[in-house]
Amino acid sequence: MLGISTISRIYISCRSTDMRKSFDGLCGSVEQEFSLDPISGYLFVFFNRRRTITKMLFWEHGGFWIYSRRLERGTFSLGSIRENGEITLGQLFCILDGIEFVRRRRRFILSK
């Protein structure tokens, strides 16, 4: 069973991925897009072109897990994520739950 506590990093691919890919194909995508080892213990998240399907690849205890989710309506929103990279667990949950998040800088204006 996937242990959320065992995931140290989460990487998301903003490029569209062929959802016919399985273990070997997704491992190749990890090596090509992130230049990382698929058995690193990190969670890798991929989407199809229309962002209606996601697949997540994870290595745990000598084997790979693939998790998949297909939306019947709507799309997965990546919010302000525009390039491949690392995201937090909270951001992943927002994406999977359909909550749109935006990274913003806080600006404080000092009044005189």
Alpha-helical runs (H) found in 1-112: 23-34, 89-97
Residue 40 has, within 13 A of its CA and on its CB side, a CA count of 16
% the chain with pLDDT above 90: 53
Per-chain mean pLDDT for the chain = 85
Give the single-character DSSP code of 4: G
Span 64-76, pLDDT tens digits: 999 999 999 889 9
